[in-house]
Structures are given as structure tokens and as C-alpha cells.
Amino acid sequence: MERFNQNLLTIGQLQQLTGTHIKSLRYYEKVGVLIPVYIDPDSRYRYYSLSQVHLVFVIQAAIELGIPLKTLNKFLSDEHSSINLNDFLDYGKKIAEEKIKLIETQFALMNDLRASLNLSKQLSNGAFRITESARTYYVSPFEGELNNQTAYAALGAFAKTITEAKGHYGLEVGMVYINSNNSISSYLFFDCLDSKPVSELPHLIINEQRYTINEGNLTDQQVKQFINEKHAQLTFKTEQIDEQLDLTNPTYHLKYTEGEANFKLILP
């Protein structure tokens, strides 16, 4: 048996080759994904094959990807003498692609937050104009004030509806007022992150548009009065993101059009 052991790796050697702590290697054995090739009946020393170095790397990849270790068992043979690398790599790639997409989404949200912060800094010097590229928003009809429990509950239900429909939304959220034929309708909105909006969800498509940005700590009725005075077709009321964000007393700004607005409201 001593000659047999000479062709195997001790747990210390496996640790050196993989850079994995011995406690971790023992844990992998405990959960059943790294079974020693041989256990000395007298000393209880564990011995591993050189091929199990690759298995440890597979285990490490699974951990990095957030794959539960017990999931690896479906890629291992019943005797743990082999692993189907092709199936594992296909599965790992799928998980990795999902994580990359999630990271890209979070990165886009951070960029949106930075853009909102820069807008607030600019607003501190007074009203100004911007031109935005084409944007799409998910919308839901709503009448009333934005900063109360009724609106919060409606926003929560709206977010759930978007998620259940497999849609994705960003950080820009608030109310949009549409002035058509001297009649003002209002909607809660979320910024749409989908390249193509979910067709069964109401959404607002706006082509490249020029807006004026102004402070907007106004009530619902004051906003409507403001819209009538400015003859604004589109008016967004959005929470202002300041560098030192007040978590207890939100402030708002208005983003509104002057002149003709180029948009399309889709209400399935």
C-alpha cells in the first residue's frame, strides 16, 4: 500500500498545488464533492490523485459562480471516480452569463445614479435645458401626491407587475404628466431598461427630446397649474438625488417640454 501512496498526493500537496486551505479541502470532502482516492486505515491520512487537482479548480469555480457545492454531484459519477466536464462547463457558462448580465445591469444603475447626481449639482445654479436621447418608460395610471403611502403602495405593486412580466426597470422613478388637448393625465413611471419593452405593459416611448429642468417641490395641483402655465406636453416629477442625500425628506425636480413633444403612449 506504501507504493500505492507514492503515486498519490497528500492533502498538504493538494493544498500547495491548488492554493486551497486544508480546512476547505476537508469541507469539500464533508459535503461529498471531493472524496479521497485512498484513506489509510491506520493513520486516516487522505490521499488524492493528480486529476483531483482539476476537480478542486472546478469546485473553486463553482464557489465563485455561487453554484451550491451539492449541485456538483449531478456532474460526478456515482462512485465519484469521474466528472463530466463538458456538462459542468456548459452549466457554469450559463450561470456566468447570467451574473455578467446582472453586473451590467447594476453598473448601468450606478451610471444612472451618477447622472442624476450631476443633474442635481447643475440644478443648484438654477434651471437649465438638456437634450435626452430616446427613452422608454413603463407607466401606470395614478392620481394624487407622489410622497405618501398610497403612491408608495402603488409603486410597489407596479414594480412587482413589471418584474413578474420579466421586465427590468432602472432608478429613475416618479410621476409623468401628459397634457393632451388641454386634458392632463398622470402616471407613475419607472425607467425601462429593456431594449424592447414588454408589450403587455403600458409604456411611454419618447424620441430624442429637449427638456427644461427646474426645482419641483410642488403638490399635484401645483404641478398641473405649472403645466397649464408652461403649456408643457410632458412633465416628469422625479426625486432629486443630491450628493448628501436626505433620507428622511425627499426633494423633487421637474423635467418638462417646451413646445411640441415627440412621444407615443402605449396602453395595451
Q: For 125-140, what is each residue's pLDDT tens digit? A: 889 999 999 999 999 9
Place of cell 447622472: 115
Q: Does residue 171 share a domain with residue 251?
A: yes
**Which of 87, 66, 68, 65 shows the shortest CA–CA distance to 76?**
87
Confirm whether 236 is domain-assigned.
Answer: yes
pLDDT (tens digit, 9 = 90+) per residue, 79-122? 878 889 899 999 999 999 999 988 988 888 888 888 888 888 88
Whether residue 119 sits in one domain with residue 59: no
Has residue 96 been placed in a domain? no
Distance from C-alpha of 65 to C-alpha of 224, rounded to nearest angstrom? 50
In the predicted model, what is the mean pLDDT of residues 165-186? 93
Are 154 and 248 found together in one domain?
Answer: yes
User: Domain check: are 119 and 63 in the same one?
Assistant: no
Specify if 175 maps to a domain: yes
Is the domain of 77 the same as that of 110?
no
For residues 243 and 43, what is the distance between their CA atoms, to the nearest angstrom? Answer: 63
21 in a structural domain: yes
What pLDDT is stored for residue 35 in this prediction? 92
Establish if 202 belongs to a structural domain. yes
Same domain, 77 and 127: no
For residue 6, which phi and psi values (nearest 5 degrees)? -65, -20
Same domain, 118 and 245: yes
What distance in Å separates the CA atoms of residue 118 and residue 141, rounded to the nearest whole number?
29
Q: Are 175 and 187 within 8 A, CB to CB? A: yes
Residues 54 and 144 placed together within one structural domain of the fold: no
pLDDT recorded at residue 80: 78
CA gap 207, 189 in Å, rounded: 17
Q: Which residue has the higher pLDDT, 20 or 113?
A: 20
CATH number of 61's domain: 1.10.1660.10
Q: How many domains does the chain have?
A: 2
Mapping DSSP onto H, E and C, the string for 207-240 reads: CCEEEEEEECCCCHHHHHHHHHHHCCCEEEEEEC
Which pLDDT value is given to residue 250?
85
- Whether residues 210 and 258 share a domain: the answer is yes
Q: 25, 50, 83: which is the final residue of a domain?
A: 83
What's phi and psi for 213, nearest 5 deg?
-105, 130
pLDDT tens across 210-267, in order? 999 998 889 999 999 999 999 999 999 998 887 777 777 888 999 999 888 999 999 9
Check whether residue 125 and residue 195 sit in a common domain: yes
Q: Which of the listed residues 83, 118, 135 is the one where a domain comes to its end?
A: 83
Spatial contact of 48 and 9, defined as CB atoms under 8 Å apart = yes
Residue 246 lies in a domain: yes
Q: Rounded CA gap, 68 and 73, in Å?
A: 10
Can you tell me the mean pLDDT for 26-54?
92
pLDDT at 5: 59
Domain limit, last residue, from 30, 48, 83: 83
Query: Are 234 and 151 in the same domain?
Result: yes
Whether residue 252 is found in the same domain as residue 171: yes
Instruction: Please give the order of strands across the beta sheet that includes 128-132.
Output: 128-132, 209-215, 252-256, 234-239, 169-180, 183-192, 135-141, 203-206, 263-266
Q: Is a pLDDT exceeding 50 seen at residue 1?
A: no
Query: pLDDT band for position 4 (50/70/90)?
Result: low
Q: Which CATH number characterizes residue 199's domain?
A: 3.20.80
Summarize pLDDT for 45-68 with one digit per residue, the tens: 999 999 999 999 999 999 999 999
For residue 241, the enclosing domain spans 102-266
176-206 per-position pLDDT tens digit: 999 998 899 999 999 998 999 999 999 999 9
E-assigned strands of 26-93?
38-39, 46-48
3-state secondary structure of 265: strand
